[in-house]
Amino acid sequence: MKTIVLTGASGGVAGMIRPLLRTNYKLRLSDRGAAPADLGPNEEWHQADLTDAGAMAALVDGADGVIHLGGQSVEADWETVARPNIDGLYNILTACHEKGVNRFIFASSNHAMGFYPRRRRVGIDQAVRPDGLYGVSKAFGEAICSLFADKHGMRCMSIRIGNVGTAPLDIRRLSIWLHPEDLVQLIEIGLEHPEIHHAIVYGASHNERTWWDNTSAHSLGYEPKHNAEDHRDHALAEQAKIPAEPVGDLFQGGTFTGDGFDGDLDRTLNARPIR
């Protein structure tokens, strides 16, 4: 069995995918916080902070790959975002390079592209349009994974995750939802596919209302099993409880785009595509 490091292991997404991953891999779980209460078979615990380069070197030593969910997972001030998501990501990638760990799965986010209007279909060939400092850190993450693939021969996958859960939470999530089983399928492609260099894929299930062209994932064999539309009534009922948002409802990134917005709404919405 391969040994795979999972960062952010005490978080919500990790909690949903660990039971599926540990049937196929020996997991080395890591987080800066407390260990998950439900450690299972094939799981061992290593408390470590991404900002500690020495701890990252020890963490990845002897592993076959890394699933990097760790770091700041929502919008925050620059210091809070940059320490784990910029410096920390650099630390763990450098540790992988030094220790010969060749596979790296990066949890990117839809928020790297959040300022694309909902009416636009986007793929992996358009320029990034981050919707906050968190989104900027995810665009940086994709760039540094590309660098480590090109310059150091690593095999990386950046998954632009939509929203992970057992059901979509609102109308926006009907377009971007990702069932944990489909996320695990993408991760296993990233860990195993022989031809990956740096793949950018969308972390989305088979959603009828998708805004994303996920050809890059499908060409690697991704066949999502879940469809947000099967949970349509639940999502629409939840949406009815949420107030309308003049900015957030127009863009793919939702509330992240309206947070602190004092720009030119018409220009942001109608800007000519860069490509």
Residue written as token pair 């409802």:
249
**With left for phi above 0 and alpha for psi between -120 and 50, is residue 100 left, alpha or beta?**
left
CB nearer to ligand 15L: pick between 30 and 163: 163
Could you give the 3-state DSSP secondary structure of residue 66?
strand
Least Å from the CB of residue 199 to ligand 15L: 19
Least Å from the CB of residue 110 to ligand 15L: 5
CB nearer to ligand 15L: pick between 10 and 73: 73
Residue 176 CB partners (closer than 8 Å, separation 6+): 110, 162, 163, 204, 207, 210, 211, 212, 252
Least Å from the CB of residue 16 to ligand 15L: 13
Please list the alpha-helical segments (H only) found in the chain: 12-21, 53-60, 78-82, 89-99, 133-152, 173-176, 180-192, 215-218, 232-239, 255-258, 265-270
Of residues 97-156, those binding ligand 15L (CB under 6 A): 109-111
H or E stretch covering 39 = none
Of residues 54-83, those binding ligand 15L (CB under 6 A): 73-74
Q: Are 99 and 61 contacting, i.e. CB atoms less than 8 angstroms apart? A: yes
The residue count for binding ligand 15L (CB under 6 A) is: 6
Could you give the 3-state DSSP secondary structure of residue 110?
helix
Cα atoms in the 13 Å half-sphere on the side-chain side of 34: 3
Dihedral pair phi/psi, residue 247, rounded to 5°: -100, -55
- 134 is a catalytic site residue: yes
Select which of 25, 90, 116, 134 is catalytic. 134
CB nearer to ligand 15L: pick between 192 and 249: 249
Q: Which of 30, 163, 214, 257 binds ligand 15L (CB under 6 A)?
A: 163
CB nearer to ligand 15L: pick between 102 and 214: 214
Residue written as token pair 């795979």:
4
Least Å from the CB of residue 155 to ligand 15L: 23
Least Å from the CB of residue 57 to ligand 15L: 27
Counting DSSP H helices and E strands in the chain, the numbers are 11, 9
CB nearer to ligand 15L: pick between 43 and 131: 131
Residues in contact with ligand 15L by the rule CB under 6 A: 73-74, 109-111, 163
Active-site annotation, residues: 134
